[in-house]
Amino acid sequence: MSQRFADKVVIVTGGVSGIGAAAARQFAEEGAKVVVADINADLIGAVPENFGASVTGRVTDVTNEEDVAGLIAETVAQHGTLDAFINVAGGSRPGTLTDISAEDWDFTVRLNLYSAFYGTRLAAKQFIAEGKAGAIVNVASLNSEVPMHFGVGYTASKAAVAMLSRQAALELGGHGIRVNAVSPGLVDTPLTAGMLGIEGMRDAFDERIPLHRAAQPEEIASSIVYLASDDASYVSGTNHIVDGAWNTTGYPDLRKFMG
């Protein structure tokens, strides 16, 4: 394993499970000191046991700007610097344009877009204060480009995350700060387990994905780690789709399963 992140400090939100956990482990394996943030206190408490000595955890509500600011401040106080900020935390409440409640829309947009906004701008301020060319990676989704039934809040907010990343890359390039988005397709994670457990659902997805399977979290994490590394020193403002070519075919009609 290379040591691209030796002496580097990385924050990963949503870092206790799924894609976030896989990314945190890969960063640690490549030499980084990693701080994982999540709202789940029980899982944060188990971080030393599950991740090893180079990874610490902090309970953080990523939809609260003051909490994200505290996360960065504590990380810098502990490790002296910050080199990369990875926004993975996200989720959704399903609904259509005409029936989603304002509460569910707000929940989804705050969890996906506001968290990425807070993380991106506060990490940028820290990099600028240090005079450092840091890296930011925001996890969007294939749904940033491809719509799906029952996903109005999710698709809209993830499209906004992808554009936020481009906008930030434009604004921050003069400071040497790189910002990119990663847009996964279907991934086997705790968040997708319930949906994929619906009878016939996994087969319907697999039929539409040219590689005929979901990704493993580690396959998405590899792209995140690459974009945060010096190997991607001239890569900024991209939306990096990692979906097994699913974008070429589109979603199955989820109304057959969830209507």
Catalytic residue positions, numbered: 154
* Three-class secondary structure assignment of 193-215: HHHHCCCCHHHHHHHHCCCCCCE
C-alpha 199: how far from its chain's center?
Answer: 28
- Token duo for residue 227: 């974009």
Q: String of b and e for 145-184 (b: at least 16 CB within 10 Å)? A: bbebbbbbbbbbbbbbbbebbbebbeebeeeebbbbbbbb
Q: How far apart are CA 67 and CA 168, in angstroms?
A: 21
Residues in CB range of 140: below 8 A, 6 or more apart: 158, 159, 161, 162, 165, 181, 182, 183, 239
Residue 39: HSE in the Cβ half-sphere, 13 Å Cα cutoff:
11
Based on the number of CB atoms within 10 Å of its own CB, is 225 exposed (0-12), middle (13-18) or buried (19 or more)? buried
